[in-house]
Structure 1
Amino acid sequence: MLPAAARLTSSADFRKVTRTGRRAGRPRLVVHAVTEPRQAGSTAEPEADLSAARTTATPKVGFVVSKAVGNAVVRHRVARRLRHMVRERVGTLPPGSALVVRALPSAAVATSAELGQDFDAAIRRLRLVDDGDRNSGGSGGGV
């Protein structure tokens, strides 16, 4: 299970990450990410909660698995796989970052390895990790 300190739980935080964060789409999932703020003077009240979360050292991750993915059994299975996969990789993410991982319908039939490959490719595309930082991923090649 993902540690409590690494969970994104507030609906306002989910909204902020999905609306203002950068996005990388893959065949089975979409990753939205907000990293440390670069301009400190332009914060509004809705961002105050998320910026407080970003000051902690642990990156925060949330998951969205809609009914389009499948019935409740399938959605929970996909969410468990995503949580397990991200738990192994949360230490490689930049401190203070916030991510929302949104599963697409094709995630229902994907293996855990395929979900892991898509997540790794998405965070590389978002430049959250370097290609050399992931030595335990198993994605097998450079992009």
Structure 2
Amino acid sequence: MTIPRMKKRRDFLRASSRGKRAARPGLVLQAVAETGGPLRVGFTVTKKVGNSVVRNRTKRRLREAARAVLGESPPPGWDVVLIGRDDTRARPFDQLKGDLRGALRQAGVLP
């Protein structure tokens, strides 16, 4: 199952300014509760992490982790932004999924 994506800059800025933040070694999460609609996820990695090859690999890992954690039953009404870090690409995938679960719980997206 594919999760709807956030692609517009204003959506990312809304999550950044009004959302709850949760930081983990493998990622940073920003989540804002929106009214109605399905859960949407956006992915971003800054240029500090590396060149385009490294940033794209980092985003692919985040997308797959989100698909694994949120794919079965995503909670409706949230916009979530996942921000990649230096440690994202080298972190074992099970730990990356654990980081995502913990951040989602901390932000109140998951019970």
Structure 1 and Structure 2 fold alike (TM over 0.5): yes
Q: What is the 5 A alignment of 1:27-106? A: 27-36=25-34, 54-56=35-37, 58-90=38-70, 91-106=72-87
Aligned to 1:8: 6
Which of 21, 24, 30 is the matching residue for 1:23? Answer: 21
**CA displacement, residues 47-86 of structure 1 (integer Å, 9 cap, x when unaligned):** xxxxxxx432x20000111122222221111111111111
Q: Distance in 2 between matches of 1:55 and 1:26?
A: 28
Aligned to 1:44: none
Greater RCO, CA 8 A, separation 6+: 2
Q: Distance in 2 between matches of 1:85 and 1:22?
A: 20
Aligned to 2:96: 115
Q: Which runs of 4+ in 1 moved over 4 A?
A: none
Q: Distance in 2 between matches of 1:72 and 1:2?
A: 24
How far has the Cα of 1:93 moved from its partner? 3.7
Amino acid at match of 1:70: G
Amino acid at match of 2:63: R
Unpaired stretches in structure 2, ≥5 consecutive residues: none
More strand by share: 2
Q: Distance in 1 between matches of 2:103 and 2:46?
A: 20
Asked if the contact 1:2–1:84 (Cα under 8 Å) also holds between the matched residues in 2, the reply is no
Give the structure-2-normalised TM-score: 0.87
Unpaired stretches in structure 1, ≥5 consecutive residues: 37-53, 131-143
Q: Distance in 1 between matches of 2:16 and 2:2?
A: 20
Give the structure-1-normalised TM-score: 0.69
Q: Distance in 2 between matches of 1:30 and 1:73?
A: 20
How far has the Cα of 1:114 moved from its partner? 2.1
